[in-house]
Amino acid sequence: MAFRAILATLVIVSSALAEFRHVSMGYSGEECSSCAASMTKSIQRLRGVSSVSVDAKKAVIVIELAAGNRVLLSEIRDAVKRVGFTPGEARVVVLGTIVEESGQRVLKPHGFEQPIELRGAVPSAAAEVKLEGTIPAGNLPSRDTLIVKNSL
């Protein structure tokens, strides 16, 4: 019984340590209201998405994610592509742990396979951080790079 309680606590803690909380992503492609509605529905289907809004005039999708979500940026990009749009740069708020890997500080998402490379105003290695920055479009699929604006 005690083992289950400890395991449950570890799962809760690890899921709270690394996650996207806010994503504001530009996009390009067709300009029709039904296409934007399709994109909203496609993203809302992702487990952990709290809200999605599309500003078709600015060509921006704003996504708020629930605490403990496991949504990957690649899943959001894929949802945008499925309805015929091209995803652009993403402005994000992400929680995680900064660790040294091969002499470089990276954001280590617990539960995700690939760490996120960090550039810009990267804080020192820390147990938990909340970072705000941008992830450029067109990164190699193997690893995203977060250009850190600041730590929150």
| pLDDT tens, the chain, 152 aa long | 433 333 333 333 333 345 899 999 999 987 777 778 889 999 999 999 999 999 988 999 999 999 888 898 989 999 999 998 999 999 999 988 888 888 888 887 666 667 888 999 888 777 788 899 999 987 555 578 888 988 87
- In DSSP notation, 94-133 reads EEEEEEEETTEEEEE-TT-SS-EEEEESPPPPEEEEEEEE
Looking at 3.30.70.2860, 3.90.1150.10, 3.30.70.100, 3.40.50.150, the CATH number of the domain 2-151 comes to: 3.30.70.100
In sequence order, the 6+-apart residues with CB closer than 8 A to the CB of 125 are: 98, 99, 100, 105
d(CA 126, CA 149): 17
Query: What's the rounded Cα separation, in Å, for the pair 103 and 34?
Result: 47
Global pTM? Answer: 0.81
Residue type (1 letter), 7: L
